[in-house]
Structure formats: C-alpha cells, structure tokens
Amino acid sequence: MKVLRDLYLGGRLFFISALIVLAFIITFIFGGGYVIPKLLLFVFVLAQITDVILLFRVTRGLYGERICADKLSNGDENEIKIILESVYTFKIALRVYDEIPHQFQRRDLEFKLVLEPGERKTIHYSLRPVKRGEYSFGAVNVLVSSPLNLFSRRFRFSADKNVPVYPSYIQMRKYELMAISHRLTDTGIKKIRRIGQNQEFELIREYVIGDDFRTVNWKATARKTHLMVNQYQDERSQQVYSLIDKGRTMQMPFQGMSLLDYAINASLVISNIAIKKFDKAGLITFQDKIGAMLPAARLNNQMATIQQVLYNQKTAFLESDYSVLYNTIRRKVSHRSLLLLFTNFESIYSLQRQLPYLLNLARTHLLIVIFFENTELKEMIEQPAIDLKQIYHKAIAERFSYEKKLIVKELQKHGIQSILTAPEKLTINTVNKYLELKARNLI
C-alpha cells in the first residue's frame, strides 16, 4: 500500500500507452496479426516493472531537509533552504513542491533539478511575511523519476513545522552593526555636526596633538609637569519611549504590510540603537486604552522583552484616545524623555482634535510626531490627467497631500517637531532624527 501511495505516473506513460492502443487499432484495420502490438505491450509492461524496481529497491533513496530560522522577520526577505541528497546509483530527476504557510497565498512554488549518483544540492528561495503571528509549514514533497520516467516516487520531508513571525529583527541587526561600526551614513542616515560640547566628565589623560586647548586641566598639568586634558563623553541614560498608535488609522496597507507593522519594526530598531548609545528604551502602545506599558530601561534582557511585547500587539480597529495616553505618561513617566509618537493624521481636523494632548506632552517631554505620506496619492499627482475624471481625482489627491503639509506646519507653529515620511523610509528617518537630537544635546 505504501508503494502505491508514493507511486505517481511519469511524463511518458500516457504517450506510450497511446502508441500501443494506436498499434492495436492499425493492426485491426489492416490485418496482419497481433504480433507487433503484443510485443510492444510486453516491452511496455517490462519497462514499467523495471522503472518501479529502480525507484523502490532502495528504501531511502533520497534524503531531504528544509532549513529555516526558528522565527521569521516581518517585512523582510527570509531565506529558506531545501537540502537534497541522492542515494540512488543512477541519475534522477526531481520535482520539488514545498508546502509553505497559507498566509503567502502562493501555489506556484515548484523546483526542478537533476541529481547525479550521490550528489547533494541546495535549493534557495525567500519568503516575505507581512503580518506577525504563527505560520505553519507543511511537508517538502519531492517526486523522483528514473531515466525511464514512466513513474515517479514521492518523498516527504520536514513535515508540519510552526514558525512565529516577529517584528523585523533583520533590520534591527543591520542598523545595530552599522551603529557600532559608525557606518550609518551608508544607508542614507545623515551625519549631524555636533553643536556645543557635553560636559559629562569621563577621565583625565595626556594631551595629544589635535586636542582642544579648552579642555586642558591645569591642576593635573602642574602635578604631572606635562599637558593633561579632560575627556568628556556623551550624556547617557536618557529615556527614549516609542509611543505606538494602534487605532484604525494605522491599518492602512502599504506593500502588503500595515502602517502599524511599519511602526512596530521602526520601534524595535530605534529602541536597540538607543540602548547601544547608552540610553534607556521604553514602549507604550495605545488605542481606546493602553495596550502595553514597558518602562524605559537598559537591562540585559530589555530588547528581548521589547521584541516579545511588540510581537503580541493587536488592534481592535477602534478610535485612538490620546487622553488615555497623556494621563498614563503623566503618571508613569516622571523624568523628561524623548517621546517618538508613531501615528497617522489624514487631515488637519484630526490633528486639531488631539493637539491639546500633544501640547501637554510637549511641555514636559521632547515630543516627535511621526506620521505617513500617502504614496499612492503621490503617484496619482505625478501622473498627467487626460480627461475630466482624472482631473477631479488629481485635484482631490493634491488636496489630501496639502493637508499633510498643513499638519507639519501646525505642529511647527506650536513648537512640536515632526517627521512626515513614506512607510519604506520610516526606520531611516526615525534613526536620523534620534541622532540629530543627540548631536544637538536636546536629549
């Protein structure tokens, strides 16, 4: 039964059967006996038996394995590998079908390759999830054909594996390495000229050519009989909070992923960089009520905690209540902090409704409001209008785009800094702003 279950018709079987039936018909019409059809039938049956024996005489004729990370990174291309190794003593042709999670909605994932006796090959492909949660992989199905190609034998590997999709840890690691090696400018992140000098003392050391004479420590110089200078370091342990709006305005999709997930990915990156820059990172999510409140800290497991909290964030598609956010920050965040508010305002009216709470937050903290450009409207504006209907659509799109610029002006008028960004540039622009504020000693 197992042999029948794993036995599939090969590509040439139908064609050869049709030739035999045709030979019988020609012989019946024109006469001449049935010797040739019987001979063809005998050869055909013998070839089938030979093909089955070749495929099934080895119990485990093929070894295979799917290799993927224990968790996938949301919004990124995640590499998947399928390793196949032949144990057959002859060349085999393979058709590989991987049962990927249903969330990807792909039914065309087929690979064809040929393995020599004892050869080992690796198939590489990538998957880009656009939503957090559990993803279930099925089995890797491989159909093996011998050189006769009459039948195919099925093998199944790596069946039923659940893999969680977390916020983009690939981006987090990328920017972390760049921040450590001071290569953030390679990705378009600006190099900000430092204004002034931080006065947090670190140590006294010997003067070297190029040091600022204003840092000379004359008392230490008198004791050592040669020039000594004070060395200062950036002020550390500032609090950086990511405030994530989970309301319905953050559910707008862009390239398959919601604005909320873009904000979650950016929050993970900026929290990690803040900790690497010796600041404290915290997190608050909200909609009609507070979803998660993680106090700012620089503990060894802070990033793991932030990642887990972000992974579990869900929305009820409700209207966001900024009064709840303001009251929570007023009670729980006592020290002056950098507040990065990830939200989305579509009109000046929607901003004015929440402006009193933003002004109250900006009085005691450094508030940065981060919201999104509508890139589809931008594309519509750039396209030429060829009829009256398109002129109306373009005029409406320009109106909505102008509203976004008015929001920026309104925030600037009240002394609140803002970032208006396309979703795909959210992380870079947020890191830019953080480094700028650090360079200007505003936090």
- Output the pLDDT for position 181: 54
- What single-letter amino acid sits at 288? D
pLDDT class of 196 with cuts at 50, 70, 90 = very low
Q: For residue 199, is it within any domain? A: no
- Output the pLDDT for position 442: 74
- Output the pLDDT for position 361: 95
State mean pLDDT over 413-441: 89
Residues 40 and 106 in one domain: yes
Q: How far is CA 326 from CA 182, 207, 368, 407, in A?
A: 36, 49, 14, 20
Report the C-alpha gap between 316 and 246 in whole angstroms: 8
Residues 187 and 130 in one domain: no
Q: Average per-residue pLDDT in the chain? A: 84
pLDDT class of 355 with cuts at 50, 70, 90 = very high
pLDDT digits over 361-412, tens only? Answer: 999 999 999 999 887 777 777 788 788 888 788 888 888 888 999 999 999 9
Domains identified in the chain, total number: 3
Judged by average pLDDT, the poorest of 212-216, 246-250, 438-442 is 438-442
Does the pLDDT at position 14 exceed 80?
A: no
- Output the pLDDT for position 195: 44
Residues 116 and 184 in one domain: no
Q: For residue 388, is it within any domain? A: yes
- Output the pLDDT for position 105: 86
Residues 348 and 227 in one domain: no
Q: For residue 2, is it within any domain? A: yes
Question: Which residues on neighbouring strands pair with residue 124, listed in sequence order?
Answer: 81
Report the C-alpha gap between 309 and 148 in whole angstroms: 56
Residues 187 and 331 in one domain: yes
Which among 182, 298, 201, 196 is positioned nearest to 240, based on CA atoms? 298
Q: For residue 347, is it within any domain? A: yes
Of 100-109, 197-206, 299-308, which has the strongest mean pLDDT? 299-308
Place of tokens 């010997």: 206
Residues 306 and 361 in one domain: yes
pLDDT digits over 56-115, tens only? Answer: 888 888 999 999 999 999 999 999 999 999 999 999 999 999 999 999 988 878 999 999
Residues 173 and 161 in one domain: no
Is residue 228 within 8 A of residue 220, CB to CB? The reply is yes
DSSP state of 256: T
Q: For residue 312, is it within any domain? A: yes
Q: Which domain holds residue 215?
A: 204-232
> Where does a domain end: 185, 213, 232?
232
State mean pLDDT over 332-357: 93
Pairing between strand 120-127 and 151-157? unpaired
Does the pLDDT at position 331 exceed 50?
A: yes
CATH classification of the domain holding 56? 2.60.40.10
pLDDT digits over 114-170, tens only? Answer: 999 999 999 999 999 999 999 999 999 999 998 888 888 999 998 788 999 999 999
State mean pLDDT over 42-53: 77
Q: For residue 101, is it within any domain? A: yes
- Phi/psi-derived region of residue 18, left when phi > 0, alpha when psi is between -120 and 50, beta in every other case: alpha
Residues 239 and 159 in one domain: no
For the CA atoms of 264, 260, 284, 400, the dihedral, rounded to the nearest 10 degrees, stands at 130
Does the pLDDT at position 307 exceed 90?
A: yes
- Output the pLDDT for position 182: 52
Report the C-alpha gap between 123 and 120 in whole angstroms: 10
- Output the pLDDT for position 432: 87
Q: For residue 198, is it within any domain? A: no
Cβ neighbours of residue 127 under 8 Å, at least 6 residues apart? 72, 77, 78, 80, 100, 104
Neighbours of 393 (CB within 10 A): 16
State mean pLDDT over 273-288: 92
CATH classification of the domain holding 300? 3.40.50.410
Percent of the chain predicted with pLDDT > 70: 83
Residues 81 and 156 in one domain: yes
- What single-letter amino acid sits at 362? A
Residues 241 and 351 in one domain: yes
Does the pLDDT at position 238 exceed 50?
A: yes
- Output the pLDDT for position 237: 75
Residues 303 and 218 in one domain: no
Residues 135 and 247 in one domain: no
Q: For residue 367, is it within any domain? A: yes
